[in-house]
Amino acid sequence: MLRKPLGLVLVAAGGAAAGVLAARTPAPAAMAGALALIGVALALTRPGVALYAIGGLALTVPYAVVPARAGVQPPILDIIIILTLAATVAWAVRTRQPLGPSWLIALVAAGVLLPLAAGLNAWAAAREVEAAQRAVKLAIAAALPLAGTFWMRPDSAVRHVPALVAWIATAQAIAALVLHVAGAEGIQALTAIGPAGYPVEEVARYLPDQTTPRATGLLVDPNVLGVTLAACVPFVFAWMSGPRWCR
């Protein structure tokens, strides 16, 4: 983990770069760039806080990409995850602290190796680039529990994780309802964030009568949005049923 002065320099540089992006790119792309810069600064200076940022991005804008194209446009989420894991390993080596209990390390190692093996098999059999990329992403994400164990105290996680998920689920539900009721205006709103990485090709969805186009929400697909909201229900109950200090 970097020292505070260097962390402040990174944050200041990120703010300056975000200003440059705002002057040179559409507003949604500039916002995506600002998210990326803030996430990078957090990953390098405060990996524990970056873990919460990763959860927030995964539940709201997992599609957001780096606005500058250099051959590829990697998702912001992937960059922050990789840097957070790298900072965690570097801090563990520097302080000689274990990343976690041996059983968790073994479980995470299996979670990393299995997707990599499947991706390598898909690549060797049919040169399936997308399958190999998904396998690498799954393998990287599988290592996140070690970072969580290293940075988060149990009492802090019990307080903050359910609250974070509950508030994000509420915001997602409200956004989905507003965009759906807005009709064509909702579709225009989602289309406008295309420069930030939103897949605008399938923004318009239809009611059963097949005549009224409706926007569906901030996540890519209505089924994804529904599954995400359903998965958030246990966290909401955990947050609401916990002691007062959890809220």
Whether 124 has a pLDDT exceeding 70, the answer reads: no
Give per-residue pLDDT as tens, 214-229.
777 777 677 777 888 8
Domain ranges of the chain: 1-96, 98-151, 153-247
Range 9-37 average pLDDT? 72
Contact 75, 62 (CB under 8 A): yes
Q: pLDDT category, 245, cuts 50, 70, 90? A: very low
- When the pLDDT of each residue in the chain is averaged and rounded to a whole number, the result is 78
Maximum separation of any 2 CA atoms in the chain, in Å: 63
The model carries a pTM of 0.77
Res 101: pLDDT: 79
Question: Residue 34 in 3-state DSSP?
Answer: helix
Cα-trace Rg, the chain: 20
Whether 200 has a pLDDT exceeding 50, the answer reads: yes
